[in-house]
Amino acid sequence: MSPAGRASWSRRIDALRKEGKLQEALELARHAYGDSPQSSSVKRSYGWAIYSRIKEHVDGYFNTLSDKSPEAQSRRESAHNQLNFLLREYAEAELPRRDLCLSLILSQATRLRAPPRSLPKVLKWVRVEGLRDEDCSANEGSSGRLYPSLLEKVTDRLATVAIQSEAPKASELALEWLEVTRARAAPLIEPERLTAHRGPLLRLSGRLDEAVLYARNQLSHNKHDASAWREWSLCEREREPSLSLWLGVRAALEARANLSRQELTVWAEYLAVVAREAGEEQSALSLGLWSMAQREDMGAPRHDDTLYLTRSLGGSEALELPLDASLNSLNQRAKRLSDLALTTKQSDT
C-alpha cells in the first residue's frame, strides 16, 4: 500500500476513536495492521485504539464495584480478561515503545487490585528501556503529595503476579525489574512494598541460599518480622524439614495478631504436613487437631488431607499431652530453636 493509503487508514482509525466508536476503531486498526504491519502511522493509531478500549474496560470495572450482582461480577471478570488480552495484543504486535501510549496503557494496567496475568510476558517484551525517562520519576499531586512513578508501580504489580503464580521465570524477571527500579526510580515512594517482594521472589526463582541470607538479614534488624521467618521456613521445606517446622511456627507466633483465623488455620494445616515429614508426629497431630477444631468453629468445610493425617497418627487419643499443653510446648520449642538457628547461622557467617 502507498504511504497515502497508510495515512488514510490511520486517519479513519483515529476518527472512529474520537467519535467514540472504540471497537470499530480497533477492528479497523487490526485490519490495517494486517495489511501494513511496518507502517509507523498505522502502528501509532493501532496502539491508541488498544489504549482506548483498555481504558473503557478498566473504567467500566470500577463503575460496577459497588454492584454486587452476578451480572456486575461477570462484567468485572470480562473487563479483566479483556485487559489481559489487549495487553498481549499490544506486545505481540510490537507497537511503539518509549511512547506515551504505552505508558498510559501500563498505567491503566496498574489500577486494578488484581494485576493482569499477562504482565510478565508484556514487560519481558517492553523491557525497562521501553519506558520513557519521565516514567521513572515520582508524580506530584495537586496537594503536593508524591505518588509512585510508573516504573515503581509496574514493578510492584509484576512482582505480585510472579509471587501469586509461583512462576520461576516471572520471578527472575521481577527481580531484574526490582534492581533497576531501586536504582532508577526517583524517588522511591513505597520502598517497603518492593522490599517485601524480594524474599519470595528469590525463593521462587530457586535462589534459596540468597533468600535465606536475605531473611536472616531482615531478622537481624527485627526478630519479630513474621514474613522473614515464613520465607526462611519455606526455603528449608525440602532441605531441612525439622528446621522448616520451627521457623514456620515462629512465623505464626509473630504474625498471630495480624492474621485472620482462616489464614492461621491454613498455615497450621501446612505446618502439620511439614511436621509429619520431619518425624515430629506429636507436633503434626496437635497442629492437625487444632486446625480441624478451628474449621469446625468457623463452620468451614473440613480439610480432608488434615483429617487423614490426624487419623493416620492415631487421632486425639494418641496425643501424649492435652491439646493446649501440646501446642504450648510446640510454641516454646519453636521460639527456642528458631532463636538458636538464627544465632548459629549468624555466627557461621
pLDDT tens readout for residues 53-85:
999 999 999 988 888 899 989 999 999 999 999
Report how far residue 54's alpha carbon sits from residue 86's, in angstroms, rounded to the nearest whole number: 7
CB 227 within 8 Å of CB 214 = no
pLDDT digits (tens, 9 = 90+) for 133-169: 999 999 888 888 899 999 999 999 999 999 999 999 9
Query: pLDDT class for 6, splitting at 50, 70, 90?
Result: low
Task: List Cβ neighbours of 117 (8 Å cut-off, separation of 6 or more).
Answer: 84, 161, 165
Query: Average pLDDT in the 116-135 region?
Result: 96
Q: Is the dihedral of CA 91, 94, 98, 100 positive or negative?
A: negative
Exposed e or buried b per residue across 40-70, where buried means at least 16 C-beta atoms within 10 angstroms of its C-beta: ebbbbbbbbbbbbbbbbbbeebeebeeeeee
Full set of structural domains in the chain with CATH: 1-96 (1.25.40), 111-206 (no CATH), 208-348 (1.25.40)
Query: Residue 346 — pLDDT band, cuts 50, 70, 90?
Result: low
> Which element (helix H / strand E) includes 140?
strand 139-140
> pLDDT tens digits, residue range 226-244?
999 999 999 999 999 999 9
pLDDT tens sequence across 244-279: 999 999 999 999 989 999 999 999 999 999 999 999
Average pLDDT value for residue range 162-179: 96
Task: Kindly indicate the confidence band of residue 348, based on its pLDDT and cuts at 50, 70 and 90.
Answer: low
How does pLDDT run across 104-122, given as a tens digit for each residue? 999 999 998 889 999 999 9
Least confident of 1-5, 20-24, 159-163, 318-322: 1-5
> What is residue 144's predicted lDDT score, i.e. its pLDDT?
83
pLDDT at 5 over 60: no
The mean pLDDT value for 201-223 works out to 96
Look at residue 137 and give its three-state secondary structure. Answer: strand
* Grid coordinates belonging to 177: 525489574
Is the CB of residue 31 less than 8 Å from the CB of residue 8?
no
Predicted confidence (pLDDT) at residue 345 exceeds the cutoff of 60: no
Cis peptide bond prior to 70, omega within 30° of 0: no
Distance CA 341, CA 243 (A): 8
pTM reported for the whole predicted model:
0.89
